[in-house]
Amino acid sequence: MKRILTIQDISCFGKCSLTVALPILSAMGIETVILPTAVLSTHTLFSGFTCKDLSDQLQAITHHWQQEGITFDAIYTGYLGTEEEIDTVIDIIARFRNEKTLVFVDPAMGDNGKLYPAFNEAYAKKNASLCAIADIADPNLTEASYLTGKPYQETWSEKEIKDMLLALADIGTKTPILTGVSLSDGKTGAMGYDAATRTFFSYQNDRIPAAYHGTGDIFSSVLAGAFVLGMDRVAAMKIAADYTAQTIAETLKNPENPWYGVDFESVIPSLVAAVQANQV
Ligand code: PXL
């Protein structure tokens, strides 16, 4: 069985970061080791959330794993609370990485042109240094703008998306994958760039006109899992984008309409079926 280490916070309530990554990756048949960076009462889009930083535990936990000889096929990072924490994570990656380890970075720090409340530009710059060592990084267009210093726009042409991917590759990411990319009216999906072969690749599905929190974490978890399972990149983007769309469609049916996170749980069976159909 493949084994992945995922490093991100636990937002106890709110369906994001570890509370979606762990169930999704487990459902995909991947042994999922977690390194919680902080425990929050809710994610940071609620007001008045509590936060217990666990930064001082990260080195002790990972040194114990090294003593035990524990290794990982992949390391997947998500929301990280502070610049210092990013430095610690870069060190942990260096200690566990070998030539076969897949390093997947979701530089989760903003959306809709803005950084999340806890972050500033210095944090975004530091996040670029983590993306620099990634095999794959999957920012949305807001995050990509902050990572590259290119201005954010409401709409993007295909040429502008490609330029953004080239700018992300210039930072050092081997295969940047931009999320929330619309290549034609009524469609949305992702576009990536393989710096080694200088090729672009993309996947689009129908856009559902609704936005919910946590969908970026769901997309990243499935995408990271699909790459770990050895799927080719378009198949990986398809399984991640289709599942994310299903979670949104499911949530729209829910009369309680929970803004804080999507009903990803009820469509896990279709994710499992898609993984089985893509068995490599
Ligand atoms: O969904 C990304 C995320 C993860 N963790 C925390 C967050 C957010 C986004 O706001 O606040 C704590």
Q: What is the mean pLDDT of the chain?
A: 97
Q: How far is CA 219 from CA 13, 88, 91, 224, in A?
A: 19, 25, 26, 9
Q: Which atom of ligand 1 is nearest to the CA of 9?
A: 5
Range of the domain at 260: 3-277
Q: Are strands 175-181 and 51-53 parallel, antiparallel or unpaired?
A: unpaired
Q: Are strands 102-105 and 136-137 parallel, antiparallel or unpaired?
A: parallel
Return the percentage of the chain with pLDDT > 90, whole number.
97
Count of structural domains, the chain:
1
pTM for the full predicted model: 0.97
Q: Cβ neighbours of residue 234 under 8 Å, at least 6 residues apart?
A: 201, 202, 203
Query: Mind listing the pLDDT tens digit for each residue in 78-98?
Result: 999 999 999 999 999 999 999
What is the rounded average pLDDT of the residues 103-116? 97
Query: Mind listing the pLDDT tens digit for each residue in 23-80?
Result: 999 999 999 999 999 999 999 999 999 999 999 999 999 999 999 999 999 999 999 9
In sign, the C-alpha dihedral spanning 279, 214, 112, 108 is negative
Q: Is the CB of 45 under 6 A from ligand 1?
A: yes
Q: How far is the CA of 58 from the centre of ligand 1 (A)?
A: 19
Q: Which atom of ligand 1 is nearest to the CA of 42?
A: 12
In sign, the C-alpha dihedral spanning 242, 246, 252, 256 is negative
Question: Is the pLDDT confidence value at 257 over 90?
Answer: no
Question: Is the pLDDT confidence value at 280 over 80?
Answer: no
Q: Which atom of ligand 1 is nearest to the CA of 45?
A: 10
Give the residue, out of 8, 11, 259, with the most ligand 1 atoms within 8 A of its beta carbon, to mutate for a pocket test: 11
pLDDT of residue 15: 98
Q: Cβ neighbours of residue 67 under 8 Å, at least 6 residues apart?
A: none
Query: Mind listing the pLDDT tens digit for each residue in 131-181?
Result: 999 999 999 999 999 999 999 999 999 999 999 999 999 999 999 999 999
Q: Is the CB of 40 under 6 A from ligand 1?
A: yes
Q: Is the CB of 106 under 6 A from ligand 1?
A: no
CATH number, domain with residue 133: 3.40.1190.20
pLDDT of residue 279: 84
pLDDT of residue 20: 98
pLDDT of residue 171: 98
Question: Is the pLDDT confidence value at 13 over 90?
Answer: yes
Q: Is the CB of 44 under 6 A from ligand 1?
A: yes
